Structure 1
Amino acid sequence: MDAFLPVYSRPGVAHIDADFDQLRREGLQVALISHGTDLRDPEAHMRRYPFSYFASAPPGWVTVTGERARANRQISRELGTPLFVSTPDLLLDADWARWLPVTINPDRWVASRPPLAGRVPIVVHRPSRTVPPIKGTEVIEPVLRRLDAKGHIRYVDPGVVPNAAMPELVAGADVVVDQILTGSYGVAAVEAMAAGRLVVGFVGEETAGLMPERPPIVNAAPDEFEAVLDDILTSPDGYAAVAASGPGFVRRWHDGRAAAEALRPFLDPAPTPT
């Protein structure tokens, strides 16, 4: 059951309890999967990161989102069914969950040209959403535009891009700026790492400590973002090595095999002794 949403659409029904019971009566095993704000605790997130996107989001949205996430965590505990999370930071909010790594086809993202090699770097930032300001675009974009105006980078603001055109866009970049306000990473960062691009984002120490391997993402908290970009421009060779480790990381954790292993106990449970 995805994002704590009902499986069967019925007017006025916004909870999953009845659907859960119905699915079980039909003989199905049921698990839950969460992707972010449906589970994340705003207060805890702001304690970890003063620059949390919750701190700059509309207060009314934060209140409603926090109440819904609290209810979802309680539902998960009460149902006692497996809970999977697609971003590893959510394990900080639900330590009974299991990380289910997002999966891509790495072959679709292979890029032949190495990044940061002898030209003005092309930098891409394409947030999937700007309202609420989850990605940090309000911090990222002014810095990229200033650097572009000085001729230090070429900032590509692609706007709306069809999915089929994304591999070419990413392959043409040297640096892909992901989200810097969540303390984690998502699909866009995985795709850029698969292409061997340098990914700038922010993965919190608490999140990295829960992972089997730290992702090759250059950390840039909002107040450090411009300084990090300047350092990349000053010393590109060292950062090119970070980018080069991205495809291997993606094949180890995001090509579907790690996700299959995470799902194995749910999909293929051990037989009950007779």
Structure 2
Amino acid sequence: MKIVHAPMEIGGQIGLFCKTLNEEGHQAVGFQFYRTFHGFTDHIVPTDQYELMSLFGELMDDFDLFHFHFTMSIVPGYGDLDLLAKAGKPMVMHHWGNDVRRSSIASLRNPYVVTGRSPKEEQIHERLSRVGAVIPVGIVQDYEVYDYVKPYYNEVHVLPLAVDLDRLRPAYPKEEEQCPLVVHAPTDPAFKGTAIVERIVGELQRECPLRYRRIERMRHAEAVALYREADIVIDQLLCGSYGLLSVEAMALGKPAVAFVRDDLLGTFPGGSPPICSANPDTLYDVLKTLLRSGSLRRQKGIEGRAYAEAHHDRRAVTRQLLRLYSRVAGMAR
């Protein structure tokens, strides 16, 4: 199967999908016309919107399936989706959270959520209505995102975040560490709750020995090298689910701290993930407990690595994706 991923790389996910699909004997290529400082380049073709638009006809002729991301496509106004549908090309749309998260829905179950980076609610509705009229299947990373897009598609499938476990070897926290290193890596400080994290860390520094490092605006490989040194990794406190930083932390054998809504705990593969769940009201106690127990930090790290191996390995996730591709291809016939 020949597969196009476009037009926006999200946390290295497109690159991992393409890498693994190619290893499985398929031909997958990812296009990215947004530049970021993270340096995700593996299996990605850097381009711009005009160049990608000029390639569209050739791509439509040569490729079998189109996997779009972040409620975006190649041509402004989604005209390419109509042409692909007319040509009988299977398509899926992959949503990643901020492209579809609506405050009116999110706030019903989460008093902490921040949706400032999301488009206006009317824009989200218009885009999803347009896309869902042409593409029958949506993909989301978890059930926190699921409710935002469910009304717009015939089917919505949950595909876990993927990591390359070969590149993320575990470095479990040392139980004897007396001054643990706490790491926080916000791509969007307002969304992640960084001000709250740093306020609580400041309070705890007056009570417990700890070191703190904020990691941002850094190439991904450099950031991962710093995660390896951490004893505790704090991801996001407001969203209601865990993100890619938590998955990478678990893969590295680190205890991951993130706010996971109670109603979502039973929806993850394999049951509740070994995330140290903390919201703005509970972070102080959760973090203090981890700081005071080296054995707990190590235990959570071991549990996290096992969970990442079982549910977030790029090969296992891509096998799920291939089954979905086969289903979508059957719909298009």
Structure 2 length-normalised TM: 0.71
Asked whether the equivalents of residues 87 and 101 of structure 1 are also in contact (C-alpha less than 8 Å), the reply is yes
Report the secondary structure of 2:163's partner residue: coil
**2:262 matched to 1:205?**
yes
Give 1:52's aligned residue: 113
Structure with higher strand content: 2
Give 1:67's aligned residue: 122
- Separation in 2 of the partners of 1:181 and 1:271? 39
The alpha carbon displacement at 1:211 in A equals 1.8
The alpha carbon displacement at 1:115 in A equals 4.3
- Separation in 1 of the partners of 2:228 and 2:240? 25
The alpha carbon displacement at 1:109 in A equals 1.6
Superimposed CA distance per residue, residues 206-225 of structure 1 (whole angstroms, 9 cap, x where no aligned partner) = 22222222221101111111
Asked whether the equivalents of residues 4 and 38 of structure 1 are also in contact (C-alpha less than 8 Å), the reply is yes
- Separation in 1 of the partners of 2:330 and 2:97? 33
Matches within 5 A, 1:180-195: 180-195=237-252
**2:138 matched to 1:79?**
no
The alpha carbon displacement at 1:26 in A equals 4.0
Superimposed CA distance per residue, residues 153-200 of structure 1 (whole angstroms, 9 cap, x where no aligned partner) = 100123432222122211100000000100111111111100000101
Matches within 5 A, 1:220-239: 220-239=278-297
Asked whether the equivalents of residues 177 and 294 of structure 2 are also in contact (C-alpha less than 8 Å), the reply is no
Give 2:61's aligned residue: none
Cα distance change, pair 236–244 in 1 and its aligned pair in 2 (3 A)? same
The alpha carbon displacement at 1:113 in A equals 4.3
The alpha carbon displacement at 1:4 in A equals 1.4
Query: Could you tell me which of 141, 144, 147 is aligned with 1:89?
Result: 144
- Separation in 1 of the partners of 2:176 and 2:212? 17
Cα distance change, pair 142–118 in 1 and its aligned pair in 2 (3 A)? same
Asked whether the equivalents of residues 106 and 251 of structure 1 are also in contact (C-alpha less than 8 Å), the reply is yes
Cα distance change, pair 115–79 in 1 and its aligned pair in 2 (3 A)? farther
Aligned alpha-carbon RMSD (Å): 2.4
Give 2:85's aligned residue: 24
The alpha carbon displacement at 1:137 in A equals 0.7
The alpha carbon displacement at 1:129 in A equals 1.6
The alpha carbon displacement at 1:150 in A equals 4.9
Give 1:243's aligned residue: 301
The alpha carbon displacement at 1:48 in A equals 0.6
Cα distance change, pair 28–170 in 1 and its aligned pair in 2 (3 A)? same
- Separation in 2 of the partners of 1:107 and 1:266? 25
Aligned AA (2:133) = E
- Separation in 2 of the partners of 1:37 and 1:141? 23
Asked whether the equivalents of residues 85 and 91 of structure 1 are also in contact (C-alpha less than 8 Å), the reply is yes
Identity of aligned residues (%): 26
Q: What 5-or-longer segments of structure 2 have no aligned partner?
A: 1-67
Asked whether the equivalents of residues 254 and 301 of structure 2 are also in contact (C-alpha less than 8 Å), the reply is yes
Q: What 5-or-longer segments of structure 1 have no aligned partner?
A: none
Give 2:59's aligned residue: none
Report the secondary structure of 1:102's partner residue: coil
Asked whether the equivalents of residues 37 and 69 of structure 1 are also in contact (C-alpha less than 8 Å), the reply is no
Asked whether the equivalents of residues 115 and 175 of structure 1 are also in contact (C-alpha less than 8 Å), the reply is no
Cα distance change, pair 6–77 in 1 and its aligned pair in 2 (3 A)? closer
The alpha carbon displacement at 1:265 in A equals 3.6
